[in-house]
Amino acid sequence: MKKVYMDYGATTPVDPEVITAMNPYFFEIYGNPSSTHSYGVDAADDIEQSRLKVASLINAKPEEIIFTSGGTEADNLAIKGVAALHENKKNTKGPHIITTEIEHAAVLETCKYLEKTGFDVAYLPVDKYGLIKTEDLKNTISKNTFLLSIIYANNEIGTIQEIEEIGKITESNGILFHTDAVQAVGKIPVDVNRSRIDLLSLSSHKIYGPKGVGGLFVKKGIKIKPLFHGGGHEQGKRSSTLNTPGIIGLGKACELGKKRLVTDSKKMIKQRDTLIKNILGIEESYLNGHPNKRLPNNAHFRFSAVEGESLHMMLDNKQIAVATGSACSSKKLKPSHVLLALGLTPEESHGSLRFTLGRQTEDTEISYVSKELPKIVEHLRKMSPLWKK
Ligand SMILES: Cc1ncc(COP(=O)(O)O)c(C=O)c1O
């Protein structure tokens, strides 16, 4: 069996069509898009085409897309950019920003940083599937709240929030709605208008585009303060010479993502459900996250009396690449904050594994993993003092 990659939630290979689209921008159309000569104008024109493609995937207008260096920067720009306009509210009582306990570090750490500077942040809990309760959200909003930031689809367990319902609540309470949609965009339909989203973060490398590029949707009329000061690029919201090849790659990835959304997700749902059915055949194995409100490509399990780290290593020996926590936190041996928020114990969190499928995932790979994993779990349990049977 050749190597099996089931960690598409961490990153994806770049689509060959994306590479082809990017190629001319390294050596032929290399002008600085801000230059007024033809080299610059050619690059700038193509960047605008890319902006259109990104906007089209989420039903936004092209002028509402700000290119960034990725999802992390988009999250920082959205949250700090809005908070900077509410400095006067600092140190007043009642949450200024509402977020959740299951955010990606890019949002969580940004909120913690803002807390240190005097902003009050409320972290909404989630139920055992990873969903917030909209009643909790309504009850948490105070007269000082100016922003809700909530992850669209969780990067670890794949749970998809009730985004439309949430958008109605933020709109009727006059607070801004930011969503980290890095894992959702390109995998499920995302419509910023229908969901009344004000700010949305996306990242290229999760959708078969290059690494180091992403975008922030900022609804027309919404003001944010920039993180970087400089030449005033991107309507003054994000200074720095634009990453032309990266942006062209992101645009192509979005175009392909839109074209392939239905077929890709149908295929992945079938493969995911086969994997879930097979793996849940293992004694004392459980699915983490919501049974059906989950990303088409995500299957997240926990196994009693085994360590996810050991499973991960033994799968790696069998040439199967999966994730224990989220990629960003998997090097730390702390239990995942997302799994703890579901109510799992630290032991249960440590016994969890994430499988994320992608365009290249083949049925034979699902069968291979379904055959190898039960053997590995059994082997580890034989050595585990926690396994009583
Ligand atoms: C939900 C989520 N938000 C943000 C990020 C960060 O994106 P980037 O790697 O483009 O900075 C990731 C990446 O793992 C993610 O999964």
pLDDT at 100: 98
211 CA closest ligand 1 atom index:
10
pLDDT tens-digit series, residues 13-51? 999 999 999 999 999 999 999 999 999 999 999 999 999
Instruction: For tokens 């033994």, name the residue.
Output: 314
Q: Catalytic residue numbers? A: 328
Q: Give the integer Cα–Cα distance in Å for 368 and 243.
A: 40
157 lines ligand 1 (CB under 6 A): no
C-beta separation of 95 from 145 below 8 A: yes
User: What's the gap between Cα 168 and its chain centre?
Assistant: 22
12 lines ligand 1 (CB under 6 A): no
340 lines ligand 1 (CB under 6 A): no
Q: How far is the CA of 72 from the centre of ligand 1 (A)?
A: 6
Instruction: For tokens 């920067």, name the residue.
Output: 73
- The residue whose C-alpha atom lies closest to atom 8 belonging to ligand 1 is 71
pLDDT at 348: 92
328 lines ligand 1 (CB under 6 A): yes
What is the DSSP secondary structure assignment for residue 87, as one 8-state letter? G
Instruction: For tokens 């801000």, name the residue.
Output: 34
Q: Give the integer Cα–Cα distance in Å for 267 and 388.
A: 39
The answer on pLDDT for 178 being more than 70 is yes
pLDDT tens-digit series, residues 104-147? 999 999 999 999 999 999 999 999 999 999 999 999 999 999 99
pLDDT at 91: 81
Instruction: Quickly count: other Cβ atoms within 10 Å of residue 195's Cβ.
Output: 24
pLDDT tens-digit series, residues 327-379? 444 455 789 999 999 999 999 999 999 999 999 999 999 999 999 999 999 99
104 lines ligand 1 (CB under 6 A): yes
Q: How far is the CA of 71 from the centre of ligand 1 (A)?
A: 5
70 lines ligand 1 (CB under 6 A): yes
The answer on pLDDT for 168 being more than 80 is yes
9 CA closest ligand 1 atom index:
16
- Kind of pairing between the strands at 4-5 and 199-203: unpaired
Q: How far is the CA of 182 from the centre of ligand 1 (A)?
A: 6
Q: Which amino acid would we find at residue 103?
A: E
Counting every residue, how long is the chain? Answer: 389
In percent, the amount of the chain with pLDDT more than 70 equals 98
Q: How far is the CA of 12 from the centre of ligand 1 (A)?
A: 12
DSSP reduced 3-state for 290: coil
326 CA closest ligand 1 atom index:
14
The full set of domains in the chain, from first to last, is 4-11+261-383 (3.90.1150.10), 16-256 (3.40.640.10)
C-beta separation of 377 from 282 below 8 A: yes
Pocket test for ligand 1, best of 180, 203, 328 (most atoms within 8 A of CB): 203
Global confidence as pTM: 0.97
What's the pLDDT band for 388 if we cut at 50, 70, 90?
A: confident
The answer on pLDDT for 325 being more than 70 is no
- Kind of pairing between the strands at 320-321 and 298-303: unpaired
Q: How far is the CA of 79 from the centre of ligand 1 (A)?
A: 15
pLDDT tens-digit series, residues 212-235? 999 999 999 999 999 999 999 999
Instruction: For tokens 């009730």, name the residue.
Output: 162
What's the pLDDT band for 93 if we cut at 50, 70, 90?
A: confident
H helix and E strand count, the chain = 12, 12
The answer on pLDDT for 326 being more than 50 is no
Q: Give the integer Cα–Cα distance in Å for 200 and 204.
A: 13
